[in-house]
Amino acid sequence: MPGLLAILIGICATIGFILIFAASNYTRVRLWRGVGSFLLGFPLGALTYGWLGIRLARVHHLSRFYSWPFGGEHIARDGPLVASGLFWVALWALLLFAVSNLLPTKKAVRRPE
């Protein structure tokens, strides 16, 4: 049975994908794509933060997690961890929002001849 965190990540990713690709059917396309990008940014930011922290710890030959861009190897407080996690979520959300605005906004309507 999956844990609560895995379920929440799956729900955020699923709803994020749906909102990004189905937003062209709504009146406020950019708003819904922004919400979808933010929801999809959570799992991508968490995965990036975890993968990069483990990878940097291996590169620096540390036996503990390496928090980047804030905290480094000295992560005695939760503040740098939260700030780093939010940095990656915001970066992914902005990137996804910029890329999702390249998608078409309205379906091509064929006029009867």
**Structural domain harbouring 42:** 4-100
Residue 110 included in any domain? no
User: What is the reported pTM?
Assistant: 0.82
Low-confidence ranges of the chain (pLDDT < 50): 108-109
Residue 17 included in any domain? yes
CB distance 24 to 71 below 8 Å: no
Residue 113 included in any domain? no
The encoded tokens of residue 18 equal 């749906």
Q: How many CB atoms lie within 10 A of CB 65?
A: 16
Please give the tally of structural domains in the chain: 1
Residue 107 included in any domain? no
- Closest CA relative to residue 20, chosen from 89, 95, 90, 101: 101
The pLDDT assigned to 109 comes to 47
Q: At what angle do helices 79-100 and 4-22 cross, to 10 degrees?
A: 30
